[in-house]
Amino acid sequence: MPDEPLTISAAAPLIRTGELTPSELLEQCLRRIDIYEPAVQAWVYLDRQRARREAERLTDAVKKGDYRGPLHGIPIGVKDIIDVFDMPTGCGSKLWANSYARRDATVVERLRAAGALILGKTVTTPFAFTDPPKTRNPWNLDRTPGGSSSGSAAAVACGMCLGALGTQTGGSLTRPASYCGVCSLKPSYGRVSVEGVLPLAPDLDHVGVMANCVRDLAILFEVIAAPVLACTSLVDSGPDQVELYQLHDYFDAAEPDLLEIYRTATRAIEPPEVRQLKLPTGFSEIPSAHLTTMSVGAASVHAERLNRHGDDYPPRIRELIQQGLMSTAIDLSNASRLRIQLRRQFKKALKEFTVLMTPATSDLPPSLETTGRPVFNFPWSFLEYPTVSVPAGRSEVGLPVSIQLIAGDNNEPHLLASAAWAERCFAFPHRLPPVPA
């Protein structure tokens, strides 16, 4: 088997011409699962026979001329807070482990309509917060894969599926994607439907995607976004113009070793000019405002159930809910006012071709007792702007490091094209993780 993970972009033309069938591709993914899953534990639910029947149906469809596009027959993992018909939506809960969904979430409906093969449910941290999951980082089994979209990132990194759905309320797409060495897209808030997705904090929740290259993100996003945005053609042609900015005095939270990898990667960008953007007034208040918004949202969703089933909630999500219950209307109003104020200031800076660039994480993957710190991620979840993370280098011990790109509201086409351009500059060598002993 090849050492590089197969991308959607590479598999799609082979499926279209019949050189590779959906059934053959599925078996490749299942072999990867056999190799990696016992150690990595990325999946909470798999139905191999159901997947094989679906792959056979999709194979027959190609033979009959019913090819639905670049996702036809592509195995996709779905984070286990997103409903998939007749699969359990466990949400990391012991009590919901056998709670089968009665319909597909809207985002899953869109994937199926495009011919995607829904392979199974990937592990989430409990209720998509920060209590650690069972999943391990495939690059070092003693390190966290990040969270809360832990299983999605690990599964894509190992080639168990070619793409995956995740969600982000703070840093739950960007961080695990970076820790596991895959690409991620967190779209603008509201760009992808959250119907059929368990909320953590409704005012902050985003549905996004992970894959092994930026072009694959564009393919997935074109299918799940509403309204539909043409992204792949712009990714292929390249952006007309890119104005890169870094936020001045923003990187203090980054570990020195990671920051050096980031600086090395940015020097590979051509042209090399990266301008400095001064942090707007009030930016330092985002951590508190984001936490208030998230905790109040979590309390509104979970407080009643926490009272009835307290043992089903591990410590960190329980603490978040309790903090939300203690917050006041004034606290929430102040957080909302800050978001409006900062979005007004950023709107002046985030023009059509402007892209902000930061490290995707502040650290290398830490131990299994944590899911890492989202300090470079939650500002953009709070401000609702789209972000892409792209692997750009490795640490001395082989752990992947990614760069995060941010654009203005609903500017995903330019953001993805800019990220693909940066990806070519970084020339990150994608390869599969070592086979567990």
Which one-letter DSSP state was computed for residue 18? T
Q: Please, are residues 84 and 104 in contact by the beta-carbon 8 Å criterion?
A: yes
Q: What pLDDT, on a 0 to 100 scale, did the predictor assign at position 395?
A: 96
Are 387 and 186 in contact, with CB atoms under 8 Å apart?
yes
Task: Using DSSP, state whether 199 is helix, strand or coil.
Answer: coil
Task: State residue 420's pLDDT score.
Answer: 97
Task: Say what the pLDDT of residue 57 is.
Answer: 99
Sheet with strand 275-277: strands edge to edge: 43-46, 117-122, 75-79, 163-168, 206-211, 183-186, 387-394, 400-406, 354-359, 243-247, 275-277
Q: How far apart are CA 214 and CA 82, in angstroms?
A: 23
Q: Residue 56's CB: how many other CB atoms inside 10 A?
A: 14
Under 8 Å between Cβ of 153 and 178: no
**Cα separations (Å) of 368 from 32, 69, 211?**
23, 39, 23
10 Å CB burial of residue 330 (0-12, 13-18, 19+) is exposed
Apex 184 CA angle, 74 and 384, nearest 5:
125
Percent of the chain residues topping a pLDDT of 90? 93
What confidence category does residue 418 fall into, taking pLDDT thresholds of 50, 70 and 90? very high
Q: What pLDDT digit, counting tens, does each position of 327-363 carry?
A: 999 999 999 999 999 999 999 999 999 999 999 999 9
Task: Kindly report the pTM of this predicted structure.
Answer: 0.98
Token pair recorded at residue 339: 């978001």
- Confidence band (pLDDT; 50, 70, 90) for 126? very high
Q: Vertex 334, ends 331 and 337: CA angle to 5°?
A: 150
Count the residues in the chain.
437
Cα angle: 331, vertex 298, 325; to 5 degrees: 50
Residue 1 reports pLDDT greater than 70: no
d(CA 267, CA 272) in angstroms, rounded, equals 6
What's the confidence (pLDDT) of residue 272?
66
pLDDT digits 0-9 by tens, 290-337: 999 999 999 999 999 999 999 999 999 999 999 999 999 999 999 999
Q: Are 168 and 346 in contact (CB under 8 A)?
A: no
Over the chain, what is the mean pLDDT?
Answer: 97
Q: Over the stretch 21-78, which tens digit does the pLDDT of each residue have?
A: 999 999 999 999 999 999 999 999 999 999 999 999 999 999 999 999 999 999 999 9
Q: Which parts of 114-173 fold into alpha helices (H)?
A: 150-157
Which CATH class for the 8-241+364-426 domain?
A: alpha beta
pLDDT digits (tens, 9 = 90+) for 194-247: 999 999 999 999 999 999 999 999 999 999 999 888 999 999 999 989 999 999
Distance CA 37, CA 159 (A): 11
In this prediction, residue 222 carries a pLDDT of 98
pLDDT of residue 228: 85
- Assess whether pLDDT exceeds 80 at residue 386: yes
- Which residues, 6+ apart, have CB-to-CB distance to 405 below 8 Å? 355, 356, 357, 387, 388, 389, 390, 415, 418, 419, 422
**Runs of H (alpha helix) within 181-311:** 214-224, 232-237, 256-267, 286-308
Catalytic residue numbers, as ranges: 79, 148, 172
pLDDT at 274 over 90: no
Determine the pLDDT at residue 270.
Answer: 77
pLDDT given for residue 111 in this prediction: 99
In the chain, residues under CATH classification 3.90.1300.10 are 8-241+364-426
Average pLDDT over residues 409-429: 96
| Residue listed under structure tokens 């005095």 | 249
